[in-house]
Amino acid sequence: MPDVPSYRIREAAELLGVSDDTVRRWIDAGRLPASNQTGRLTVDGAQLAEFAVALAAETDRPQPGPIGRGSARNHLVGLVTRVQRDTVMAQVDLQAGPFRIVSLMSREAADELGLQPGSLAVASIKATNVVIEIPSTS
């Protein structure tokens, strides 16, 4: 499996749905661990995933009202927070801002995607099916 990526401040802020300054304040306060191995502050993907779960649990966010219009397909970018594998199936938990998305897929698919806590992924939602995809790196 590939190494868990690390995220720059701007990327972490986008994934958490906050400003870059907020992420920097959390780092300065010791609330979010960061490293400076490349000359820039980065946050380990697995630690960012844990932080995203904790942040969503502590944040009292307003619940959305009734939906007036919707699309046939929605894409939610987030961090994989947990992958439970058995011999045939895998359960993948994704934290997309305040939203926890759970997808059931074959273990083979989860292994091929290299899904693990801290991986960046996209949940494509249509009807009752949730498909986890890896964003293009090009």
In tens, the pLDDT along 103-118 reads 999 999 999 999 999 9
| Strand ranges of the sheet holding 99-106, from the earlier edge strand across to the other edge | 99-106, 89-96, 74-85, 120-126, 129-133
**Residue ranges of domains in the chain:** 6-58, 74-133
Beta strands in 1-138 (DSSP E): 6-8, 42-44, 74-85, 89-96, 99-106, 120-126, 129-133
**Can you tell me the distance from the alpha carbon of 132 to that of 75, in angstroms, rounded to the nearest whole number?**
10
Does the pLDDT of residue 45 top 70, yes or no? Answer: yes
Q: What is the second-level CATH architecture of the domain 6-58?
A: Orthogonal Bundle (1.10)
Provide the whole-model pTM: 0.63
Contact 67, 48 (CB under 8 A): no
For residue 73, the model assigns a pLDDT of 59
| The CATH fold of domain 74-133 | OB fold (Dihydrolipoamide Acetyltransferase, E2P) (2.40.50)
Q: Which residues are paired to 82 by β-bridges?
A: 93
Query: Is 37 or 69 the better-scoring residue by pLDDT?
Result: 37
